[in-house]
Structure 1
């Protein structure tokens, strides 16, 4: 299925009408999150790189025209104006890994109106999912307080492609590895994995399973110890490791039960049994809330494997993300609907210390002590530079996270910073609102 036809039908109907009406002037659309989900103090910008790849490949071919015509039950020749359409516009975007707040554009697309309209759905799908998952993963990094995290999300992700994205996004915010072999190869992430309960059950005893695994994988090994009785599994693992002279970098994995209590007993048993340097890895339905609890309670867990709840951003699986027209043919425009009003004009986000941000107009001078977040990444449909790297995105994330106020970093009841709005953007919004109310005869606008 073509990425071009992976869109909402109304994008096609609007783009076709624009072409028929010769409405091809430049249009700017702004993509942003209206409000942060409950329990979020920040978001991590993600999906931009995939979005740029999509825009660089965007081309409406003959098969796309046929698919559009079939969907609309129209003759193919009616859709002919769309044939050959490619993206040759410009994009300004927040680089991946940077923290963003409610109302701040993650990217702005400026292109002939039919082009800018047709790419909306795919861009929203990419950025909405990836920003949600990256933000969830980032909160796990905060909760782990320096302890390694491993992505185990593939088996319950919303499809294999979503699993690949989750592994990449974990690496973007600092995860140490992933169980996803394809993602490890594609993105240069460390692959990590142990064994399943089925492996242990296949042998006549836990000890037989552990010894067989160690023979095949001479080191370092990780034994899953909770198939039957966790305390006995720990003792068996410790004995096997000691007999084989294994220890440093080897580990046991706890996957169920009271992980804090089990980890304490396991730590004592491992230390008493003799093998040195054996780590404890915890998994099993973990996310930032449970990791935070275990860390605060002092559980002797060395690393955490997080999967389902992180790869699906389970407590906030979507974002109130929008892609709104803010300028057409040099004319600022805005939506007036209550609770969904938008601000007009091409924008910029000026970042100050401690994420004291100001949302302003793109042609404003940055306030003193701030830097612009939106950078030019495409011109004429081509990237302005080489693709971004995970290492660069991670460095940006770490720098922004370090600057984030403590109340926004909190796992429970975070308080997100609220960006200010520049005087010039406020004035333009008032002028455009007045003009559009006069033109449409709309009643007096009032915020909700």
Structure 2
């Protein structure tokens, strides 16, 4: 029995006007490598699985098809991000892993996208590794941040792995290892004369900024040069640091930045870390999977259609493989329709085939390359201003195509009970 599993978002998190699709590369790698190793089978034997089931597990590989929204595209509620068509055992076994990967990566890609909006034209750098929920999550956040257009990352291994630009600053412990801040800044700038970023709030922030400003002409630094703030009232301190560095007669490179590493609303803010990586305002969102057999008992179909129409009328109807059609002008929301229906008007489709018979459609992206940023840049330019707002955004709302609505109605009518209480089969 073929089974269609759909991953979508029931509703956007609070204060979110959009999400950024991510995690597809990880999901495809998971599906390609899906199997049961000998140690896996040994554990399952110990917990009670019989020999015939273990033999079936040993042979099992993912052989299905996958359609998905490409990474970096902007998506909204009630739109499928990914659809898996596979034998029911395969679809159910991979469902949790795929849902986890798409949900996590989409969550952590959406937050740096908001940081970019808050920073305006200033560059934003991923400093999140120390606060991510695990070592693997740190690299995942660096990649997702690159998809959303962040300029660099402090995660050196992630930079090597994905071809990103590494960037970092000094630590408080580094500053404290010297007799005073000026000596620490001088030593640091000697080692990194072309990209010195001074941590100025180890002791007294205004004094630290003045010490950094003094070191710049002393060593003849030409930039880029910056001041990093890590604590206190970051918005106020960033303004003070900027004022000190721009005072009349203060020699400084034109590329000076006063950077606050936690609040994206601070002037000239660009490092991103701490709360931003944990998406504190929206740590989880209502992603869901929906499974639909291609050939199923009519009673199951009736149950599925009833849930769609009675629990949440706005949700797209369940039956059939889907496609999302986007208004190129951004004047109206997306249309969710059937995969094989003609596009309405000049709306291009979003979902594309990415795996067939368990194998990727086309080669995987080369190691050390993140290609998806251009997609997000294009979608960000397309996104209406009301959906881009950081506070009280108005996201675009998806509608359902007439063809998908008609299919939903056709199934519901044929699954309706007869006068005797029986459920019709095959429309009879």
Q: Decide whether aligned partners of structure 1 residues 366 and 278 sit closer, same or farther in structure 2, where only a CA change above 3 A counts.
A: closer
Where do residues 63-212 of structure 1 align in structure 2 (5 Å cutoff)?
Answer: 63-71=39-47, 73-212=48-187
8 Å CA contact retained: 2:23, 2:105? yes
Q: TM-score, normalised by structure 2?
A: 0.89
Q: Decide whether aligned partners of structure 1 residues 210 and 203 sit closer, same or farther in structure 2, where only a CA change above 3 A counts.
A: same
> What displacement does 1:407 show?
0.6
8 Å CA contact retained: 1:65, 1:76? no
Where do residues 321-360 of structure 1 align in structure 2 (5 Å cutoff)?
Answer: 321-329=287-295, 333=301, 334=304, 336-337=306-307, 338-339=310-311, 343-353=318-328, 354=330, 356-360=333-337
CA distance in 2, matches of 1:31, 1:411: 26
Report whether the alignment pairs 1:55 with 2:31. yes
For residue 4 of structure 1, what is the aligned residue in structure 2? Answer: none
> What displacement does 1:283 show?
2.9
Q: Decide whether aligned partners of structure 1 residues 223 and 429 sit closer, same or farther in structure 2, where only a CA change above 3 A counts.
A: same
Aligned partner of residue 312 in structure 1, secondary structure: coil
8 Å CA contact retained: 2:201, 2:230? yes
Aligned partner of residue 377 in structure 1, secondary structure: strand
Q: Decide whether aligned partners of structure 1 residues 424 and 61 sit closer, same or farther in structure 2, where only a CA change above 3 A counts.
A: same
Aligned partner of residue 210 in structure 1, secondary structure: helix
CA distance in 2, matches of 1:170, 1:281: 21
Q: Decide whether aligned partners of structure 1 residues 331 and 137 sit closer, same or farther in structure 2, where only a CA change above 3 A counts.
A: farther
For residue 9 of structure 1, what is the aligned residue in structure 2? Answer: none
- 329-338 or 148-157, which deviates more: 329-338
8 Å CA contact retained: 2:224, 2:253? no
> What displacement does 1:89 show?
1.2
For residue 407 of structure 1, what is the aligned residue in structure 2? Answer: 386
Structure 1 alignment gaps of length 5 or more: 1-24, 444-448
> What displacement does 1:256 show?
2.4
8 Å CA contact retained: 1:178, 1:191? yes
CA distance in 1, matches of 2:141, 2:196: 25
- 304-313 or 229-238, which deviates more: 304-313
> What displacement does 1:330 show?
7.9
> What displacement does 1:434 show?
4.0
CA distance in 2, matches of 1:357, 1:207: 56
For residue 268 of structure 1, what is the aligned residue in structure 2? Answer: 243
Aligned-CA RMSD value:
2.4
Post-superposition CA distance 1:382-427 (Å, at most 9, x none): 1111224765311111111111111110000001110110112112
CA distance in 2, matches of 1:74, 1:112: 21
**Equivalent residues, number:** 407
For residue 384 of structure 1, what is the aligned residue in structure 2? Answer: 361
For residue 243 of structure 1, what is the aligned residue in structure 2? Answer: 218
For residue 317 of structure 1, what is the aligned residue in structure 2? Answer: 283
Structure 2 alignment gaps of length 5 or more: 424-428
CA distance in 2, matches of 1:76, 1:282: 61
1:396 to 375, 394, 397: 375
Post-superposition CA distance 1:267-296 (Å, at most 9, x none): 33223321222512423432xxxx2x43xx
For residue 307 of structure 1, what is the aligned residue in structure 2? Answer: 273
8 Å CA contact retained: 1:347, 1:360? yes
